[in-house]
């Protein structure tokens, strides 16, 4: 087994583990996963759970003929979501937090930043975020499409260093193990190319295993952003003992670059700047030497038209020293510039937190 270390992981658990009989929730396969999550948290690691299963959990509650319609599935999800959350919550002695997302939420810059802030605050307060697609309202163009890719997007927005996809198969094989008894598990993938997609069930392939295509898609999104990805068998309790010992018991997809470098490249080169914030000497030193967030007290002027979630340059004496995602709009910043963070809510009537630009959303130039 290959060694695997992590600090913040997204763990994706599919419907076949949540509701093995495709009808109502079960804890048959969830207890070892829950124990692994609890033990990891005790070690100071952070975990976000992406859980499928709301439709399957509510399937027995809504009448349908043959194959459920979209509307019937949405009703099932509305009932099943509460049961799925209660099922998870009963396995933990700490708070669980429900987050329901659609693809539209993840592609909208403002909502993306709000999701990031919510996850950050939940982890800060030691709650376990449990993410699922909002199946009761998401249809067609609003759907992420599957919870493997939702897990990848969650790992990106949470700036996790690891994605663990719990499947009902050991990992990626060089042939379909259901058809070929000599199929061999591929323990490590250094590059996801056409050959890997072919193994996952690409066009014209007879090698694919069920659901593996979307898992490879999810892995590619993550490794391209510096996030290592594992596909493991969520039905095998030994898997989670191995993970707890820092071993990869399935297929490990190695990232193309470091997480920090990927994030910095994204902030530095991809995001279009829509405004500028000028800061004083104290703020400059806090940013450059202490790795601090930018607070309103250090702002001397604001220019440009931008909203929460936009990218801005941070200047000192006409020189760009940093770039980051701003939490407040230009008009809000003009109202609170130079003020102590404690006066933000009094001045604006609300607060998105004390930081104007959080240190995790900032790159030094």
The residue that leads in pLDDT, 143 or 242, is: 242
Which pair of structure tokens corresponds to residue 173? 């094989």
> In the chain, what percentage of residues exceed pLDDT 70?
94
Residue 305 neighbours by CB under 8 Å, 6+ apart: 274, 275, 330
Task: Give the neighbor-by-neighbor strand order of the sheet with 319-325.
Answer: 299-304, 273-279, 311-316, 319-325, 362-364
* β-pairing verdict for 188-189 and 251-253: parallel
Amino acid 138: pLDDT: 67
12-21, 163-172, 252-261: range with lowest mean pLDDT: 252-261
Tally of helices (H runs) and strands (E runs) in the chain: 14, 15
Residue 144: pLDDT band with limits 50, 70, 90: low
Amino acid 143: pLDDT: 58
What whole-number distance in Å separates Cα of residue 164 and Cα of residue 10? 6
The residue that leads in pLDDT, 177 or 210, is: 177
Residue in this structure with the two tokens 């709301």, named with its chain if needed: 54
* β-pairing verdict for 8-13 and 2-3: unpaired
Residue 38: pLDDT band with limits 50, 70, 90: very high
Helix axes 147-158, 109-124, angle to 10 degrees: 70
Residue 2: pLDDT band with limits 50, 70, 90: confident
Amino acid 210: pLDDT: 45
Domain ranges for the chain: 2-259, 271-364
Amino acid 140: pLDDT: 55
* β-pairing verdict for 96-101 and 299-304: unpaired
b/e burial code for range 281-296 (CB count within 10 A of at least 16 → b): eebbebbeeeebbbbb
pLDDT tens digits, residue range 74-126?
A: 898 899 899 999 999 999 999 999 999 887 787 777 788 889 999 999 999 99
The residue that leads in pLDDT, 197 or 202, is: 197
User: Is pLDDT above 80 for 282?
Assistant: yes
User: Is pLDDT above 50 for 288?
Assistant: yes
User: Is pLDDT above 70 for 142?
Assistant: no
Which pair of structure tokens corresponds to residue 109? 């810059």
Q: Does domain 271-364 have CATH number 2.30.130.10?
A: yes
Is the alpha carbon torsion for 148, 85, 41, 133 positive or negative?
positive
What whole-number distance in Å separates Cα of residue 212 and Cα of residue 208? 7
Amino acid 270: pLDDT: 65
Would you identify the CATH topology of the domain 2-259?
A: Carbamate kinase (3.40.1160)
User: Is pLDDT above 70 for 22?
Assistant: yes
Range of 99-108, 239-248, 250-259 with top mean pLDDT = 239-248
User: Is pLDDT above 80 for 28?
Assistant: yes
State the average pLDDT for the chain. 89
Amino acid 299: pLDDT: 97
Residue 203: pLDDT band with limits 50, 70, 90: very low
pLDDT tens digits, residue range 159-187?
A: 999 999 998 889 999 988 878 889 999 99
Amino acid 218: pLDDT: 93
User: Is pLDDT above 80 for 261?
Assistant: no
Amino acid 201: pLDDT: 73
The three-state secondary structure class of 29 is: coil
The three-state secondary structure class of 275 is: strand
Q: What pTM was computed for the model?
A: 0.82
The whole-number average pLDDT for the span 222-229 is 92
Residue in this structure with the two tokens 């979630």, named with its chain if needed: 309
Which pair of structure tokens corresponds to residue 169? 């198969």
C-beta of residue 321 within 8 angstroms of C-beta of residue 365 = yes
241-250, 265-274, 283-292, 297-306: range with lowest mean pLDDT: 265-274
User: Is pLDDT above 80 for 64?
Assistant: yes
Torsion of CA 33, 7, 146, 121, to 10 degrees: 100
* β-pairing verdict for 362-364 and 188-189: unpaired
């Amino acid at each position: 087994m290959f060694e695997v270390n992590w600090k913040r992981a997204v763990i994706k658990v599919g419907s076949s583990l949540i509701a093995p009989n495709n009808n109502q929730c079960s804890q048959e396969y969830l207890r070892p996963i829950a124990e692994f999550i609890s033990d990891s948290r005790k070690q100071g690691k952070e975990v976000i759970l992406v859980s499928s299963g709301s439709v399957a959990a509510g399937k027995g509650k809504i009448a349908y003929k043959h194959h459920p319609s979209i509307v019937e599935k949405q009703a099932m999800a509305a009932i099943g979501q509460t049961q799925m959350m209660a099922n998870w919550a009963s396995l933990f002695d700490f708070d669980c937090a429900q987050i329901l997302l659609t693809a539209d939420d993840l592609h909208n810059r403002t909502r993306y930043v709000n999701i990031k802030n919510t996850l950050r605050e939940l982890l800060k307060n030691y709650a376990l975020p449990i993410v699922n697609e909002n199946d009761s309202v998401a249809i067609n163009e609003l759907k992420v499409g599957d919870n493997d890719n939702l897990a990848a997007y969650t790992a990106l927005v949470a700036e996790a260093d690891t994605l663990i996809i719990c499947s009902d198969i050991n990992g990626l094989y060089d042939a379909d193990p259901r058809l070929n008894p000599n199929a061999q598990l591929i323990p490590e993938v250094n590059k996801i190319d056409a050959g890997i997609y072919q193994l996952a069930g690409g066009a014209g392939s007879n090698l694919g295993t069920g659901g593996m295509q979307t898992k490879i898609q999810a892995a590619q999104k993550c490794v391209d952003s510096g996030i290592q990805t594992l596909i493991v068998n969520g039905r095998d309790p030994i898997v989670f003992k191995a993970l707890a010992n820092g071993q990869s018991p399935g297929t490990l997809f190695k990232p193309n670059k470091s997480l920090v470098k990927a994030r910095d490249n994204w902030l530095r080169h991809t995001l279009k700047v829509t405004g500028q914030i000028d800061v004083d000497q104290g703020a400059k030193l806090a940013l450059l030497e202490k790795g601090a967030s930018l607070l309103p007290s250090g702002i001397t002027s604001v220019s440009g038209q931008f909203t929460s979630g936009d990218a801005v340059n941070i200047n000192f004496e006409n020189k760009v020293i940093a770039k980051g995602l701003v939490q407040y709009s230009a008009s809000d910043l003009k109202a609170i510039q130079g003020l102590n963070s404690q006066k933000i809510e009094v001045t604006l009537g609300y607060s998105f937190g004390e930081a104007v630009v959080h240190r995790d959303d900032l790159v030094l130039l």
